Structure 1
Amino acid sequence: MNGPTAFFNRTYDETMSLLLEARNYVAYQEAADQRSLPPAVRLQASYESMRVTSRLTQVMAWILAQKAVHAGELTQEQAVGDDYALSGGHICSDPSGPDNLALPPALRSLLQRSHGLYMRTSRLEDMVRRNVA
């Protein structure tokens, strides 16, 4: 069980690191980045910040459920149920944002990395579901 546990620990660490980076961006940099943007771009930047938050929150919740399985707190059958499923599919899996050069570079970076993490986690979820079925 060390293999899967170590893997989930690394994914957890990556997710936590991105969550902290996103929090710091929103708390300390976002307002300065948006100050000079036109209103329509500010609105888009706010939307994209929410997308980053949604992706990372969904991934963290899914990873915590998987860690609970490895700790014996949940069964794999429980963890693949709707209560613990990765959600936000059409919004979180949309890769747009990083290519919008009007958005601040730090936000575009968070969008790109959170999308990659969400998509990897989505594939993991599919693999886990197939193994349980």
Structure 2
Amino acid sequence: MSDRSQGETALVQLSERLTNSAAFGTLFREGMDLVEETAAYLDGIGRTEAKALDRSVSLTYATESMRLTTRLMQLASWLLLHRAVKEGEMTLTQANREKTKVKLSAADPGPDEIIEKLPQQLQELIARSMVLQTKVRRLDTTIHAPAAERTSIGNPLVPQLNRLKAAFERQSR
């Protein structure tokens, strides 16, 4: 038997609705497509481009491609956890426990002046991965904010959550 308050139950339902929304589905596809596209690039044309680079830039290429791969694997792990919630394979509470193993701040890229020396396609993949990371972090904060933060009177998160809820409900129609 659950001892959740009505407020917590409503917020869990909101969080579960977010993972079941069309917006989450779009984010999931975007993330998985980026993982596949990056793997294809790094195993294909990226390998050829890396061989043509000067030695110092080649080291930067290796470092940044590892950071990109690490970042994408962490993002994919988060997305897969929340897809499991959507599919009913685990509860949001279970996903919240498991997500502590996922590092959404993993492997931020180096300074812009270093990234600018890399092949254009790798630069674009890095930039797209950072946009995806920002979206996932934002959604993670919304879904997994402690109940006290989400329900406190006067808390600025409450109106934001209500706007998000309304937006997701409109998208789901």
Tell me the TM-score normalized by structure 1: 0.84
Structure 2 residue 158 is matched with structure 1 residue 119:
no
CA 4–24 in structure 1, closer or farther in 2 if over 3 Å, else same: same
Q: Which residue of 1 aligns with 2:93?
A: 77
Quote the Cα distance in structure 2 between the aligned partners of 1:98 and 1:127.
Answer: 33
User: What RMSD, in angstroms, separates the aligned Cα atoms of the two structures?
Assistant: 2.4
One-letter amino acid matched to 2:130: H
Quote the Cα distance in structure 2 between the aligned partners of 1:36 and 1:2.
Answer: 45
C-alpha deviation, 1:117, in angstroms: 0.3
Larger Rg: 2
Work out the number of aligned pairs and report it: 131
| Equivalent residue in structure 2 for 1:129, among 112, 136, 144 | 144
Quote the Cα distance in structure 2 between the aligned partners of 1:95 and 1:127.
Answer: 28
State the identity %: 28
Deviations 1:96-127 (A, max 9, x none): 45863211000000000001101210121111
- Runs of 5+ consecutive residues of structure 1 not aligned to the other structure: none
Structure 2 residue 26 is matched with structure 1 residue 17:
no
Q: Please say if residues 80 and 128 of structure 1, whose CA atoms lie closer than 8 Å, have aligned partners that are also in contact.
A: no
Quote the Cα distance in structure 2 between the aligned partners of 1:114 and 1:68.
Answer: 22
C-alpha deviation, 1:44, in angstroms: 0.8
Quote the Cα distance in structure 2 between the aligned partners of 1:67 and 1:61.
Answer: 10
CA 53–118 in structure 1, closer or farther in 2 if over 3 Å, else same: same
Tell me the TM-score normalized by structure 2: 0.66
Q: Which residue of 2 aligns with 1:59?
A: 75
Secondary structure of the structure 1 residue equivalent to 2:116: coil
Q: Which residue of 1 aligns with 2:3?
A: none
| Equivalent residue in structure 1 for 2:53, among 37, 47, 50 | 37
Secondary structure of the structure 2 residue equivalent to 1:80: helix
- Runs of 5+ consecutive residues of structure 2 not aligned to the other structure: 1-16, 149-173
